Amino acid sequence: MSKPYEHLIKIILIGDAGTDKTKILLKFAGVGQQQGPFISTVGCDFKIRDLEAHGQRVRLQIWDTAGNEKFFKITSSYYRGTKGIFLVYDVANETSFHNVRAWMENISEATGKDAVVTLLGNNCHLKSDERQVSWERGQALAQEMDVKFFEVSADMGTNVEEALKSLVQDVLAKV
């Protein structure tokens, strides 16, 4: 019996708490917006999604990790076997942007150069007076770290699918 996919790719979402990684995960998985109060991730959660890329069937395991520092050591164990990483900050939260470098150091220590990293600036739908981090600053940081960069909106769905497909293509090119 053949598998329903040719490649299994583990992807994780990393970044500070409150950057809406869970909302991004739900968009990636094609799940509608959660109704009622939003509950923070404790430890981790994951969703499965199948898609076709480069004529190949791909199964994605997309892991959402808690951004809270008390889960930081737990989070590092989820790097094992990871092929793709979304490093997420919130454009309305300067601290989450500032912490990207620390997250990147952790990623480098845990994975070396084995995983493909993409930087995501979430909440791109916000007006300029609501933002603390400009697109230009996000792009400059991504260039400095030598990773791809997308601004996305988990609320509106803007660029979420494009970022996912780009990461999957980059992972497949590396395999």
* pLDDT tens, position by position, 15-30: 998 999 989 999 988 8
pTM for the model stands at 0.88
* pLDDT tens, position by position, 56-111: 899 999 998 766 555 555 566 778 889 999 999 999 999 999 999 999 998 888 88
Half-sphere exposure in the Cβ direction for 89 (13 Å, CA): 29
Delineate the domains of the chain, giving CATH numbers in brackets.
7-174 (3.40.50.300)
Question: Which residues lie closer than 8 Å to 36 by C-beta, 6 or more apart?
Answer: none
Q: For residues 68 and 16, what is the distance between their CA atoms, to the nearest angstrom?
A: 6
